[in-house]
Structure 1
């Protein structure tokens, strides 16, 4: 597939998330914390929290139940999963603790396999959908680290579906559909879909039958979804093939944001079972899926895709209240409180921050600007300016609040309900 036209250098630089993210005060780094370990500023944390709430809600509605699991595990855990044999070069060194070795986890799936294994399971429970927004750690080399796209401490939107063999294609197809729904809400356009297959060498589990079966199932998922895709050798996980949803940055560089995997390997390694309708024990299939990938990479892409002008429901500041003069400051403070009480992110830009024109320009990425002059203050009204340049006739403050909250709550693509 041919990708989108390559942007001009000026546009590429302007929308580089490393520059824009710092300008917008979303994140930063410090050498005392270390390379590949960014910290989040309040505005960046607000975007991240909105993403977390959105994806948890999306998963709940799809029948997932959420868990928490530790970011550490014994080395033995990753020996069983196969990570130690096939992935240890990308893991942090083990730490000696009380005669044992513990490791910062490189993925969440071994922990979820143990949660599944902790109880006797029946076919009536399947598919069992388990989700977590959890931390994992990769020992990335310094030369590949960059901004939020390649980091060493990762917060992953991860989930694992334990199901019968007959259910696996349906569950993977539902995961691909959820990715499409999330991309629509977030304004993300995939660059392409990739079927990632094993390549030569000892990185991959040696089981040709496993690879052939799982690959055929993922091809069925892609065909059912009606999306064009390319097969890529050498891009699979060590335990199985995967669907990778690729996104591109302004310079055309691709990265993987979302994945769907069918795993026939780890259920065997962990001895996972369920009791079937025949009363016998059977092996489940493990479907791995991540709707928005890591929160770090997702935010990096959203910064670049929107140039900092996030959809209203994601914006770190959703409403900027602009009193024309100090005489309207008291009314602006009351309006700010009302917006906050309705769950909106709001700030007052006071007159001492500059002229009204300067404050409007400074708030150019904020979806809604609520201007309060003498007439608005007297009648409890606001004059709204929308980020796209439109101006709305002065209206009662309560009506403006209701319409803004409605657009934010339904995660609408537009800014106003007459669109």
Structure 2
């Protein structure tokens, strides 16, 4: 079984704008959206390899991956734009500083993270602390592309390949520039991008303008879904909080959402829109006027009669790196078991960023889109942007 399909099954077992409603005009003009990953991205994984410490991965063992780079004589580095994804989770460092994680959405490798970071003029180190949840062949893997920019405006590109240093079991301080990795083995190339065992892992890369679809998104509901799938009528509150990495400022969020049977969507406490058909997903654009420290998606979803019930959400969040221009940073946030929900009475203020949802249980991931009983969802004509 291909890696992504295996992990999707594992995810289920271990369960990750004007204000307007859907109307007849939207339904009439709605159209299906076909997403072709990488098309609008200035970066891709075409030349990159999936690498690991060996061809056979060991579950829950931390693997260190490092790449150092010194520019050619007469060149001075200023910044890097980095895309990566992992099978299944990691923490990413540049010159010893933690930049972010790569374990979402739901640790699925079909979605890349994208960062913009400042570099030192000369020697720089890129490091990953990675792990996988399943042992076996093709069960672990990292793929990355790093676009380096020099002070004169020229660029170089680094890709994951057999020149990287990789070690199972990570020594203290492995992410620091001063760490000596010369005794570490070189990486094992376990596959080419979109080839062989990795052929079904076509990676969606945050882009500007965004490219967003519902592929691999999961229909979710509260933590109690009867085996029959029949859920009592009533409303439920759902929340998902995303905290950007340091220096990554949320700029624009593109959101696709549908619910069986109805929903109202809030972003950072502001009502964005609503819908009443699980066969139609609304598309909203939210522009952030300020610089929020977190982005909170909150949804009030209603099952109008005792029946199957579900919520489907996909968000692509573009960020504006502090002090950087012409550099895209972004992340995908999907409906999965990283969301929280409550079956109790809807508490006042549940949609606000400061609301404490720490006691709320994780949702249940019911099926992965476009599986039954919901099947394919049509994406409506985009709503006008909302600024909050």
When the two structures are superposed, what TM-score results if normalisation uses the length of structure 2? 0.27
Q: Flag the structure with higher strand content.
A: 2
Larger radius of gyration: 1
Structure ranking higher on relative contact order (CA contacts 8 Å, 6+ apart): 2
